[in-house]
Amino acid sequence: MKIMMIIPFDPSTGGGVMRAVKSQETVYRMLGASTETVHASELDRVDLRDYDLIHVHGPLIIGGLMMIRRSGVPAILTVHGWVMDEAITALRMNPRGNFHYIFRIINWILHRLIFIPLIYSRVTAIARIKLEKNGINGVVIPNAFITADVDKKVANCKNLSFDDFTLVTYVSV
């Protein structure tokens, strides 16, 4: 199975969504699938019909949505954050500098009303509160926890031993 993972924005390579996508890629590979990850800005360089599944990690703009629809490939939407709350917070902090967040709000409203039912066969989120705060129905699939990644990080900590702890994670507040 070939899976296309789409990130709707061009973030830094170390952000939380990027780590979640990398973990999801690991899980897909463990299940025997091959994956490719692209940012939405790079969608014009791929043929989505070459894939068995499209996994989108946040709301896309209309151009990307139409590419998915035309491909005929089943698509999953995963919501990692609180779309409306994040946009409203950005607008409160700097209305002029973050004016583009108004388009994100409109895009999310269109997603809830039109795009999710029309484009996506499944919707997932990393926590129940993400589904509720975004006003959508879906399945909760927590971010994957890849123990080998943690083992590598702990091995680089000279003052720690594996006996000191078994898991380090973060809580989103």
Q: What pLDDT digit, counting tens, does each position of 65-90 carry?
A: 999 999 999 999 999 888 888 889 98
Q: Which DSSP symbol is given to 108?
A: H
Give domain status of residue 167, yes or no: no
Q: Cα(79)–Cα(77) distance, rounded to whole angstroms?
A: 7
State residue 169's pLDDT score.
54
Give domain status of residue 155, yes or no: no
Coil, strand or helix at 172: coil
* Strand residues in the chain grouped as ranges (E): 2-7, 34-39, 53-56, 75-79, 122-125, 139-140
For residues 137 and 122, is the Cβ–Cβ distance under 8 A?
no
Which string of b and e fits 3-42 if b means at least 16 CB within 10 Å?
Answer: bbbbbbeeeeeeeebeebbeebbeebeeeeeebebeebee
For residues 7 and 39, is the Cβ–Cβ distance under 8 A?
yes
Give domain status of residue 151, yes or no: no
Q: Quick one: tokens of 71?
A: 């491909």
Give domain status of residue 164, yes or no: no
Give domain status of residue 153, yes or no: no
- For residue 103, the number of C-alpha atoms closer than 13 Å in the C-beta half-sphere is 6
Per the structure, the count of domains in the chain is 1
State residue 119's pLDDT score.
95
Q: What pTM, to 2 d.p., does this model score?
A: 0.80
Give domain status of residue 58, yes or no: yes
Instruction: Domain of residue 127: give its range.
Output: 2-145
Give domain status of residue 98, yes or no: yes
State residue 112's pLDDT score.
94
Q: What is the CATH number of the domain that holds 121?
A: 3.40.50
Q: What pLDDT digit, counting tens, does each position of 77-131 carry?
A: 999 888 888 889 989 999 999 888 899 999 999 999 999 999 999 999 888 888 9
Angle, in degrees to the nearest 10, between helices 101-110 and 83-93: 160
Q: Cα(22)–Cα(28) distance, rounded to whole angstroms?
A: 10
Q: In degrees rounded to 5, what are phi and psi of residue 72?
A: 75, 5
Q: What pLDDT digit, counting tens, does each position of 35-48 carry?
A: 999 999 999 999 99
Indicate if the pLDDT at residue 164 is higher than 50.
Answer: yes
Give domain status of residue 92, yes or no: yes
